[in-house]
Amino acid sequence: MKLGDIGEFGFIDRIAQGCLVGEPSHVVRGIGDDAAVVRCPHGLLLITTDLLIERVHFLRPAISPTQLGTKALAVNLSDIAAMGGTPCDAFVSIAIPAEVPVEELDGIYDGMKALARRTGVNILGGDTTRSSQDLCLNLVVTGFVPEGEALYRSGARVGDRIVVTGTLGDSAGGLRILLERLELPHEVAAPLLAAHLEPELYLEEARLFATSGWAHAAIDLSDGLASDLGHVCRASGVGAVVDVAALPLSAELGELCRAAGGDPLALALGGGEDYRLLVAVAPEGVEPLTRSVAAATGRRLYEIGEVVPGSGIRLRHPDGRLEPLTLSGFDHFAHR
C-alpha cells in the first residue's frame, strides 16, 4: 500500500492507535489536536530530541523497520537516563519519501510502540510531511526527575571514579560488519549487530545513580568515550585518566578485529553509538552501586578510570605509562 492511497490524515489515524501505553493520568489530550495537553507533576521536566536521517544515521536496507523505530526512541530514552530521569511522553515527526510503503511505516511505529510499552512512555503526537529523497525521523521525549536528583555533565569532582554500564565499541563493530559486508560466524556477528541496531537502555540504573547521592555527573555514550568523557571534563573543569586495561571490550569485538583488521581500543574510544551510561562516582560509592545494580538488573558496572585535576584525558597503559588521548569521537561537521 502506498501513502497516496490513504493520505496524510489516514496515515495519522492509522498510527494513532495504541500510542497511550504509559501512565496516562497526566495526559489531558494526546493525538488529535494542535498540541498535546499534559499535567506537570512535581519535579523537573526533562526534554530531549534526536534526529535520525537516512544515509547519515541509518541505512534502510541494513535495518528492519521495527529496529529503526525501536532505535529512534531508544536513543532519546538514553538521554533521559543520562540525566537520572524517568521518561514520560514522546512526540514523533517523520518526513517520508513517497515510495516508502505504508507497511514499512507500520513496522517503524510497531518498534516504537513496543519499546514505549516496555518503558511506560506515551506517544502523544508529532508531525508528518513528505520528503523528496530520504526518510527522516525526529523524536522529542520528555521525562521527569525529582528536584535535587538530576545528573549533569558539570558535576564531576577530582577523585571521582569513572564507571560505565557496559562494553564499549560493539556498536562500531556492528557498523563495520554492515558497511564492509563482513562474513563472520553468527556467534560473533550477532551480538555486534544487535549492539548497533538495538541499543540497550539503562533507565533502572539511571534512577539508582540519581538517588544514591554518590553519582556526581553522567552522560550517555553516543559519540564515543573520547568525545563524551571530554564533554564531562570540560563542563566540570577537570581532567581524567582512563585505564586501558580496565576498558570493557567484548570477545566478539576482539574476534572481529582479528578477522578483519583494526584496533578494538580505537573502536571503544572513538566508535560511538554504544549508548552506555558514563558516570562520575564518589570512590566510596562504586562498590555499593555495583552491588545495587547487580541486584536490581543483573548487569554490572565497569570502573575504567578516575577524575583528576587539570584538563584533558590521558590513557594509562598497564606499564603505568601515561599518554594523552588525542582520538576524538563522532562529529557530524568534522572534516572526513
Average pLDDT over residues 70-76: 96
Q: How many CA atoms within 13 Å lie on the side-chain side of 313?
A: 24
Q: In 3-state terms, what secondary structure has residue 222? A: coil
Asked if pLDDT for residue 30 goes beyond 70, the answer is: no
Task: Look up the pTM and report it.
Answer: 0.87
Average pLDDT over residues 280-306: 97
Q: How far apart are CA 281 and CA 301, in angstroms?
A: 11
Res 90: pLDDT: 95
> Percentages helix, strand, coil for the chain, rounded to the nearest 5?
40, 25, 35
In order of 10, 27, 34, 127, 267, the CA distances from 124 in angstroms are 17, 9, 11, 11, 37
Q: How far apart are CA 23 and CA 83, in angstroms?
A: 20
* Eight-state DSSP code of residue 98: T
Domains along the chain?
3-145 (3.30.1330.10), 153-324 (3.90.650.10)
Q: How far apart are CA 9 and CA 43, in angstroms?
A: 36
Whether 91 and 36 have beta carbons less than 8 Å apart is answered as yes
Whether 79 and 220 have beta carbons less than 8 Å apart is answered as yes
Whether 221 and 294 have beta carbons less than 8 Å apart is answered as no
- Burial code of 321-331, b = ≥16 C-beta within 10 A, e = fewer? eeeebeeebbe
* Tens digits of residue pLDDT in 136-166: 999 999 988 888 898 999 999 999 999 999 9
Q: Can you say whether the dihedral through the CA atoms of 137, 138, 142, 145 is positive or negative?
A: positive
DSSP string, 103-134: HHHHHHHHHHHHHHHHHT-EEEEEEEEEESS-
Which grid cell is 8? 496524510
Average pLDDT over residues 275-296: 97
In order of 41, 49, 90, the CA distances from 116 in angstroms are 20, 16, 9
* Strand order through the sheet with 136-145: 44-53, 136-145, 86-97, 122-131
Q: In 3-state terms, what secondary structure has residue 160? A: coil
11 or 231, which is more confident? 231
Single-letter residue type at 238: V
The average confidence (pLDDT) of the chain is 90
Average pLDDT over residues 50-75: 94
Asked if pLDDT for residue 333 goes beyond 50, the answer is: no
Percent of the chain clearing pLDDT 90 (strictly above): 78
Whether 46 and 142 have beta carbons less than 8 Å apart is answered as yes
Q: Which residues are bridge partners to 47 per DSSP?
A: 142
Q: How far apart are CA 145 and CA 80, in angstroms?
A: 9
Res 145: pLDDT: 87
What is the crossing angle of helices 170-180 and 186-197, to 10°? 110
Q: How far apart are CA 71 and CA 196, in angstroms?
A: 9
Owner of C-alpha cell 560466524: 185
Whether 210 and 150 have beta carbons less than 8 Å apart is answered as yes
Whether 258 and 213 have beta carbons less than 8 Å apart is answered as no
* Helical residues (DSSP H) of the chain, grouped into ranges: 3-16, 65-82, 102-119, 170-180, 186-197, 203-212, 225-236, 251-260, 264-270, 286-297
Average pLDDT over residues 279-300: 97
Asked if pLDDT for residue 95 goes beyond 60, the answer is: yes
